[in-house]
Amino acid sequence: MRIKKQQESGILEGDLTPMIDMTFQLIAFFMVLINFTQSEQNEKVKLPSSVLAKPAKAPIEFPITLHLTEDATVVVGGQETTIGGIGPFLIREKNVLEIQGKSPDDATVVIRAHRVAATGRVQELIKACQENSFEKFALRAKEDVGNE
């Protein structure tokens, strides 16, 4: 029996359609989920969790975010300082508010303290802000999705 030799010298083409489908689906998935908002977070701070900690419906108008780590270091604007050394930063923030025609009462100090930070340190931080006329505070917590 004579075996017929394959004469086709064409290019082998794989079917790319499923791969492209899948890739576009992945791109769509990541595009939808991507969040470009500047989230004020710090890796050193592990927030306490609470079932009532729901994301605010409206953003805070003038937020000043202070991170307090476990060892009582304050991280503000990417710079580390101590609770005692926060004064100059707060004065600067106060000046910025005054330039905008606002007062420190209009700003909210967002405190992101580590879950095992000493409460006394948090209170010291609050006191340092109070001394610079800030009086609205927001204690930040992570949303606890599990059951209470």
Partner 1 sequence: MKLRHSTSSGNDKIELQMTPMIDIVFQLLVFFIMTFKIVSQEGDFNIKMPLAAPAAGTPDELQVETIRVRLEADGTGRLARMSFNDRVLSPLQFDDQGSWVNADLLRSEIVAVIGTDRGPGSIQENAEVELDCDFGLNYRHVIEAITAVSGYVGDDDTVIKLVEKIKFAPPRPVTGG
Of the two residues 1 and 35, which places its CB atom closer to partner 1 in the complex?
Answer: 35
Sheet with 79-81, side-by-side order of all strands? 79-81, 74-76, 63-68, 108-113
Q: Is the dihedral of CA 102, 80, 130, 56 positive or negative?
A: positive
The whole-angstrom separation of Cα 77 and Cα 93 is: 11
Nearest to 113 by CA among 55, 49, 64, 47: 47
Which among 71-79, 81-89, 90-98, 106-114 is the span making contact with partner 1, rule CB under 8 A? Answer: 106-114
Contact 84, 113 (CB under 8 A): no
How many other β-carbons are positioned within 10 Å of the β-carbon of residue 103?
12
**By CB under 8 A, is residue 33 in contact with partner 1?**
yes
Shortest gap between Cβ of 127 and partner 1 (angstroms)? 7
Shortest gap between Cβ of 88 and partner 1 (angstroms)? 19
Of the two residues 6 and 119, which places its CB atom closer to partner 1 in the complex?
Answer: 119
Q: Binding partner 1 by CB under 8 A: which of 42, 73, 81, 139?
A: 139
Contact 133, 103 (CB under 8 A): yes
Q: Please count the residues of this chain forming the interface with partner 1, following the rule CB under 8 A.
A: 53
Span 108-137, contacts to partner 1 by CB under 8 A? 108, 110, 113-120, 122-124, 126-127, 130-131, 133, 135-137
3-state secondary structure of 65: strand
Of the two residues 80 and 143, which places its CB atom closer to partner 1 in the complex?
Answer: 143
Q: Which residues bind partner 1 (CB under 8 A)?
A: 16, 20, 23-24, 26-27, 30-31, 33-35, 39, 41, 47-56, 60, 108, 110, 113-120, 122-124, 126-127, 130-131, 133, 135-143, 145, 148
